[in-house]
Structure 1
Amino acid sequence: MAVEANTVELSGFSWLEAVLFPSTSEHLGIFYLTWIGLFLFVHLVWDAKSAETPGFHLRRLESKFSVLFSAATFSSSFIVILSVPFAPVRLLLADTSLPLVLSGFSGLLLSIPALCPYEIRKQFREEVSKDDTAKGGGG
């Protein structure tokens, strides 16, 4: 293992290159495992530290499958966005660059809310309901 400027060489490839700019199937595997793992880690730490969510129980583990799906969606969208600027992929994409970038950004935006371990819409509805009650009761 040789240490270079901010990268670590392992078995002939750079881990940082694999995580940010995958170019082989091995890199792609490392890319997905790293980004999915990071996404799940952020969600689970947020969930554990949040007062808005109940404590851990195996029965609620099933609810984390949607987070896993969102993590995979995030990673796939991220790879689409990263791949567009690179010449070999750009040649393959030809006229589909704009739709791929749009779907990549859409996937990122749709999957990021899954990091939050509690239902924000429910809290928003409760706040709106309190505001409506307060306005109606005072007039």
Structure 2
Amino acid sequence: MTSEALAFIYRPTGADEIGQFYTFWFSLYFSIHVIWDIVSRHTPPFFLDNLKSKVSETFNALTFTSSLYIIFLVVQGRYNSLGTDAILPLFYSGAIGLVASVSALQPYDSKQVIAEQQQSEKEDA
């Protein structure tokens, strides 16, 4: 494979290459996280069922990819592309930011509240 065939990794142009860029970087980021989780001694044993709990990593992978894309556009001097080619990355970044911000509204840890509630129910029984 030539470097031009892989140019979408660092210099995507057009909708098809932007899709390939997102697929590559998202998959790389998410795969590194999952593999690290599987081999780490610091996390519980990994099962496929654990993939359901990887929602925040999915957001992180999309945020990473969108940020990387925007940085590449700026570094390559393609400022005019920020309004056209970057519509999808900017939308993803905005949507992810909204989801992260809304979840941050809750001022306490849900798991802690549930544990306290379960403990209270045990004491009442």
Which TM-score bucket, shorter chain as reference?
A: 0.5 to 0.7
- Identity %, equivalent residues: 36
What SS does the corresponding residue of 2:54 show, helix, strand or coil?
Answer: helix
- List, as ranges, runs of 4+ consecutive aligned residues in structure 1 with deviation greater than 3 Å: 91-94
Q: 1:58 to 1:16 in 2, by over 3 A?
A: closer
- Alignment of 1:22 onto 2:4: no
Residue 64 (1) aligns with residue 49 (2):
no
Cα offset for 1:35? 0.2
Relative distance call for 1:42 and 1:16 in structure 2 (3 A) is same
User: Which residue among 48, 54, 65 is the counterpart of 1:75?
Assistant: 65
Instruction: Please show how residues 33-44 of structure 1 align to structure 2 within 5 Å.
Output: 33-44=23-34
SS in 2 for 1:73: helix
What TM-score do you get using the length of structure 1 for normalisation? 0.53
Q: What TM-score do you get using the length of structure 2 for normalisation?
A: 0.59
Q: Where does residue 46 of structure 1 map in the other structure? A: 36
Match of 2:79 in 1: 90
Match of 1:32 in 2: 22
Distance in 1 (alpha carbons) for counterparts of 2:34 and 2:61: 12
Query: By how many angstroms is 1:61 displaced?
Result: 2.2
Structure 1 unaligned residues grouped into runs of 5+ = 8-13, 95-99, 108-139
More strand by share: 1
Shift of 1:19: 0.8
Kindly state the Cα deviation for residue 57 of structure 1 after the two structures are TM-superposed: 2.8
Q: Is the 8 A contact 2:30 2:58 kept in 1?
A: yes
